[in-house]
Amino acid sequence: MDDQVVVILAVLATVSIWAASVDIAFAIGAAAAIGTWARRRSAFVCALLMLVCLAGAVRSERAWAGLAPDELGPFEGWARVVDDPQPYVASTRVILDVDGERYEVWSRGRAQQLRVRTWRGGEWIAVSGSRAPLDADRARRVAWQHVVGEFELDWASDENAGDAVARASNRVRGAIERAAATLPADDGALFRGLVVGDDRDQPREMINRFRASGLSHLTAVSGQNVSFVLAACGPLLRRLRPWPRLVVTVGLILWFVALTRFEPSIMRAGAMASLSAVAYATGRERAPLRILAVAVTGLVLVDPLIVWSIGFWLSVGATLGVSTVGPWLARRFARLGFVALPLGITLGAQVGVVVPAVLVFGRLPLVSIPANLLAVPVAGAVMLYGMPAGLLAGWVPALADPLMLPARFGTRWVDTVALLGERLEPAPPWSWVGWATLAAVAAVIVAAPGGRDKNQTRHGDTSSDR
């Protein structure tokens, strides 16, 4: 099955899930099958297209139906903390799994907030309260988290550390937190965001400047974090035989996905990394576009509600741009020397996220190009260094200060770039004028004879000789 069919399957699965209608999915699948038959005459591919469309619609309908709570009213018993509490200005939000259904809790009393903020994902808490439905607008906004209602918390008492995975994850995150606590408050919060995607304590001003400068993706764990974890474990993995190496690699990926709380962006990255590891072990092709398409198809069919996560689509879009548009631009920017590759990849990522970024946030920062060129290499170094250094610093406090000094410089650099980016970002419509100018300059460079790749140049030279 070629890459084009794999990409079409991903698109059809996503569109069918968005439609959430078997009738519409059947029409979409039939149109795709007819078009494919006219070109390929392959009954297997046509049947596969229809099957994916129908499966997507059925899975979507069931997922939405599953958001209706089975039981409302009073509850007293044990509930599992799904994710770490998220502090806000006057409240704290946490998601609890109550009898197999997820409810969001908004804790507003000071004493209660202090208690709730100590909870960690995977723990079990003895609670008492009442389950209530969400209004339609709120229900749709939190659907991707599988939240079915709101839990009014009356009191909480005993705590249980949870299963082995939860305990191990929380021990690692606890060590990272202790290491981050040796840094100034904002630097420590940013360090945790870069290393494990924990942005709970980042002040609103920091969040705003990272968004305004196009750097917010750095604090959302993604493929870069997974790559650095695998790179750090590379010496061990290379000592193993192929199949044990595959098992350990996939296990390591799954552990890191659990450590970072199964965020949509890390789910995409983990799925792609696992597929790449399997392809490597079996000697199959590891084309990024193909792996991305397979990962998206699998994820949206397993969890249809993930298509409503903006983080998921920003992650998919950036990966698509980096793996397709980025290398294409880098080859055509060859005349720019060592800047060609990072500039091409950065522009490719921006092209990939332009639609979701504009639709949701209403902007695409112009300063994101220089800001990413300046911040991403340093942020990557912090990610690579931060996990082992943070763990050692958290477990051996006497070594914390010297170990965390490089991380302090790195996080301060990244935050400074974000701060300058926020201040230098032009207001609309000048930002869009800047993007248009940048696109025009890129087009001129690409269209110039020196901007063509070697194959095109050789072909052009041969044609002229004739």
Whether the predicted pLDDT of 160 surpasses 70: yes
Q: What pLDDT, on a 0 to 100 scale, did the predictor assign at position 456? A: 47
What are the sequence ranges of the domains in the chain?
3-65, 73-162, 170-444
pLDDT in tens, 258-309: 998 898 999 999 999 999 999 988 888 889 999 999 999 999 999 999 999 9
8 vs 445 pLDDT, higher one: 8
Choice among 39-48, 136-145, 158-167, 218-227 with the minimum mean pLDDT: 218-227
Q: Among residues of the chain, what percentage have pLDDT more than 90?
A: 69
Q: What pLDDT, on a 0 to 100 scale, did the predictor assign at position 453? A: 53
pLDDT band at 355 (very low <50, low <70, confident <90, very high): confident
The DSSP-derived string for 17-83 is HHHT-HHHHHHHHHHHHHHHHHHH--HHHHHHHHHHHHHHHHHHHHHHHTTS-S--EEEEEEEEE-S
Whether the predicted pLDDT of 461 surpasses 80: no
Q: What pLDDT, on a 0 to 100 scale, did the predictor assign at position 81? A: 97
Q: What pLDDT, on a 0 to 100 scale, did the predictor assign at position 236? A: 87
Q: What pLDDT, on a 0 to 100 scale, did the predictor assign at position 451? A: 58
pLDDT band at 402 (very low <50, low <70, confident <90, very high): very high
Q: Which residues, other chains included, contact 413 with Cβ-Cβ below 8 Å and sequence gap of 6+?
A: 375, 378
Mean pLDDT on 243-251: 93
Superfamily for domain range 73-162: Nucleic acid-binding proteins (2.40.50.140)
The two three-digit tokens of residue 386, written as one number: 């931060």
pLDDT in tens, 90-124: 899 999 999 999 999 999 888 888 899 999 999 99
Contact (CB, 8 A) for 294 and 275:
yes
Angstrom CA distances, 286 to 181, 272, 277, stand at: 40, 10, 9
| Separation of alpha carbons 443 and 339, rounded Å | 17
409 vs 234 pLDDT, higher one: 409
In 197-241, which residue ranges form alpha helices assigned H by DSSP?
Answer: 204-212, 223-232, 234-237
